[in-house]
Amino acid sequence: MWNFSFVIPSFMILLILLGYYFYRPKLSIRINDTFVSLLVTDFLVILFDMLSSAADNHYERFSVTCLSVLNLLYFVFFLARIFCFFLFLTDVLKMKLLRSPQRLAAYGSVFIAAELLTLASPFSGTVFYIDAAGYHRGPFYHVLYVTFLFYILLSLVLIRRRGAQLKKEERIVAVLYNVILLAGNVIRFLFPTYLIMNTFCLMAIIMIYLTFMNPDFYRSDRGLAFNDRAFRTVLDEMYGSKLFRVLCIGLRGYSDAREIYGAHQMDVGISLIADYLTRTFRDTEVFYLRNGRFALLGDETMDWDYIRSSIDRRFQKPWRAEETDLFLNVLFVRVSDRSAWTDADTMQRRLLSAFREAEGNMSEAGGLTDLDEIVDIDRHVDLKRTLERAVEENRVEIFLQPIIHSSTDRMVGAEVLARIRGEDGQPISPNLFIPIAEQNGQINKLGRQVFEKTCAFIHDGNLERTGLEWLNVNLSMIQCMKRDLAVEFCGIMESFGVSADMLHFEVTEAAVIDMQLLDRQITALREAGFKLALDDYGSGYSNLTRVKHYPFSNIKFDMEVIWDYFRDKDVLLPSIVSAFKQLNLSVTAEGIETEEMAEEMKRIGFDYLQGYYYSQPIPADEFVRKYAK
């Protein structure tokens, strides 16, 4: 007589798990399919275990065929469940068995043999047989145990071999649930009438669910979207096997918007957008990649132009987050499988740089950046490597550009501009590598090299040789955040026997800075005897109170401001120039490209002029040869 005390509660718990799992939105990735197969086979095993056992208990009321079919189905699914556990493990270990039929057949041969033997039972009584006295085990009954044992041991071997890619906790759970299955197998062997094996399988499934398959691992906490872990997982799986398109949507100026509207309101807004995208574009999968960025993933037929214009239209209206109307703007980046990604990580990194690029391109209407067509993104990666090498090997060079005194037309100073060289030996623009150096912290080393080489240049007597009075060195805001900057630079200067009055620093105002620290740094540089110039005035963040507040002695007008004046001459530029002069500040015009510009700037009252009309920046040694008297 079979005993049902374990199997019924197990069945009920499984039903809860099934309901819960199917109710939550899931990603279409293979491991989910495998897990669903496991849940479904487990359901069938338990179902037919109960049915066949109940029928066996009252065998006299059922026909032999009916008993045979019920028992046969139970054994067939019983074996299938073992194999599903095994397949699930190979998915966890990223073995991609299902993509290679030969390997699948090799690993599955024991399972198939066992199934064939089971299927033969009704005809030749191999695993079980039914006679007038009901159900009996056949001579090959132990094939069930052996198959089970085989796949558990194989699983443990695979975990040992390939488990290094799992997190520690995952590895432990993988071993543990296989040990539990093994224990179930032993107990079934010892107490065959108790139908207890299912309980052990259910324990294993719950462990798998909690550690590997919880759908919440892939959900973002903003609305209905999936998260970036899900995005990587799906891409990794699609890459090389499916055609796909990704349209990414980014909120312009996301961090500013967060400050303006507040973090909570923005979070609500993001959830609203996530829900809107999920509900509107049902053929695509929606991911929230953090920092105001979403991705829509679709197959190769995805109509991204249509989607893009719908989203554009929606964003013309505000998003109502509780009491606030959020006015947000979007930019788009798109990618497809045509690009030669090697893995999801590379692709995500490139997406990020594409977003940065698109953010920088505020003027570009609609801001659609097509990754397939942007070669620059590959270059960005190369550039980072080139920069790292140049900084490590002390190969950052200095170029000099003359600064002309407007009343005498004489070169009195020069600006030091950093260069690194690409693989072709051509100099690379600092506009490309300085932002990278600022992001990855190399700016400090780079700035130190520039400063050392500038001091060496002065130490070698090149100022006298070329008739220069001083050199201007650029300082980035990030460098100013280094607390011992003044001490470090004074040390370098002293070691080269250079005095501070030969050096000026150009600083550009940045948006967000630690004002108190900046105050202290600028005072320290001033006290060390350096003169300070405000660079790129008028290009963005220029803030009148700060100009007044800091001890600048020179204001360098950004070339955009100068060029704008030539496009549309008005009184603005001349009045600002005269205002600065009344404050006893000298003023420099950058970007002078023609004689006409030079004359006009002199007339307006600029003290110093700099630009291609006089000279482009040139390597320091060439500069000496050219200007030596």
Site size toward ligand C2E (CB under 6 A) is 25
Smallest distance from the beta carbon of 106 to ligand C2E, in angstroms?
60
Closest among 257, 227, 185, 209 to 38, alpha carbons compared: 209
* Secondary structure class of 32 (helix, strand, coil): helix
Which CB atom, from 292 or from 617, has the smaller least distance to ligand C2E?
617
Q: Is 612 in the site for ligand C2E (CB under 6 A)?
A: yes
Which CB atom, from 358 or from 450, has the smaller least distance to ligand C2E?
450
> Per DSSP, what are the bridge partners of residue 508?
535
Which CB atom, from 334 or from 448, has the smaller least distance to ligand C2E?
448
Q: Is 617 in the site for ligand C2E (CB under 6 A)?
A: yes
Q: Near ligand C2E by CB under 6 A, which window of 62-70, 159-167, 215-223, 471-479?
A: 471-479
Partner interacting with residue 215 (select from ligand C2E, Mg ion, none; CB below 5-8 Å by kind): none
Check if the beta carbon of residue 383 is closer than 8 Å to that of residue 436.
Answer: yes
Which CB atom, from 79 or from 434, has the smaller least distance to ligand C2E?
434
Q: Is 452 in the site for ligand C2E (CB under 6 A)?
A: no
Q: Is 228 in the site for ligand C2E (CB under 6 A)?
A: no
> Per DSSP, what are the bridge partners of residue 537?
557
* Element housing 533 (H / E): strand 531-537
Q: Near ligand C2E by CB under 6 A, which window of 180-188, 231-239, 474-482, 577-585?
A: 474-482
DSSP annotation of 558: P
Q: Is 442 in the site for ligand C2E (CB under 6 A)?
A: no
Q: Is 532 in the site for ligand C2E (CB under 6 A)?
A: no
* Number of Cβ atoms within 10 Å of the Cβ of 305: 11
> For the chain, how many residues are written?
629
First and final C-alpha spacing in the chain: 112
Q: Is 394 in the site for ligand C2E (CB under 6 A)?
A: no
Q: Is 536 in the site for ligand C2E (CB under 6 A)?
A: yes
> Per DSSP, what are the bridge partners of residue 586?
554
Cα 314 from Cα 297, distance rounded (Å): 19
Which CB atom, from 351 or from 443, has the smaller least distance to ligand C2E?
443
Please give the residue whose beta carbon sits closest to ligand C2E in the complex: 611
Q: 42, 228, 357, 535: which one contacts ligand C2E (CB under 6 A)?
A: 535
Tell me the pairing of strands 427-428 and 410-421: antiparallel
* Element housing 556 (H / E): strand 554-557
Q: Who contacts 96 (Cβ-Cβ below 8 Å, separation ≥6)?
A: none
- Between 401 and 440, how does the x/- string for binding to ligand C2E read (CB under 6 A)? x---------------xx----------xxx--x------
Which CB atom, from 228 or from 536, has the smaller least distance to ligand C2E?
536
* Secondary structure class of 429 (helix, strand, coil): coil
Q: What angle do CA 299, 301, 306 make, to 5 degrees?
A: 110
Which CB atom, from 228 or from 536, has the smaller least distance to Mg ion?
536
Tell me the pairing of strands 608-609 and 397-405: antiparallel
Which CB atom, from 42 or from 509, has the smaller least distance to Mg ion?
509
Partner interacting with residue 516 (select from ligand C2E, Mg ion, none; CB below 5-8 Å by kind): none
Q: Near ligand C2E by CB under 6 A, which window of 103-111, 117-125, 241-249, 608-616?
A: 608-616
Q: 87, 611, 620, 627: which one contacts ligand C2E (CB under 6 A)?
A: 611
Smallest distance from the beta carbon of 400 to ligand C2E, in angstroms?
10
Cα 319 from Cα 4, distance rounded (Å): 57
Smallest distance from the beta carbon of 507 to ligand C2E, in angstroms?
9
- Between 347 and 386, how does the x/- string for binding to ligand C2E read (CB under 6 A)? ----------------------------------------
Check if the beta carbon of residue 354 is closer than 8 Å to that of residue 250.
Answer: no
Report the phi/psi class of residue 102: left, alpha or beta, with left for phi > 0 and alpha for psi in -120 to 50: alpha
Residue 596 CB-density burial (10 A; 0-12 exposed, 13-18 middle, 19+ buried) = exposed
Beta strands (DSSP E) in 188-311 are 245-251, 285-288, 293-298
* Element housing 214 (H / E): none
Sites of contact with ligand C2E (CB under 6 A): 401, 417-418, 429-431, 434, 447, 450, 474-476, 506, 508, 535-536, 559, 590-593, 610-612, 617
